[in-house]
Amino acid sequence: MAEIYKYAKRYRPQIMAALEANPTARRTQLQHKFEQVVALMENNIYECYKEAAAP
């Protein structure tokens, strides 16, 4: 999961542009869904770091 997050974060602008350019992706709102997944992954990663750092 962490590898997918790293890929998504690194290539986010390109992924967003490709989703915006694709009519099917626009119709199914994949760009918005992609943003939601990235946001959820960011929150989960930060939560994991907090738990690991807690005494």
Which residues are within 8 A (CB) of 12 and not within 5 positions of it... i.e. 6 or more apart? 38
* Mean pLDDT per 10-residue section of the chain, whose length is 55 residues: 84 95 96 87 62 54
Q: How many domains does the chain have?
A: 1
pLDDT given at position 6: 86
Range of the domain at 18: 2-53
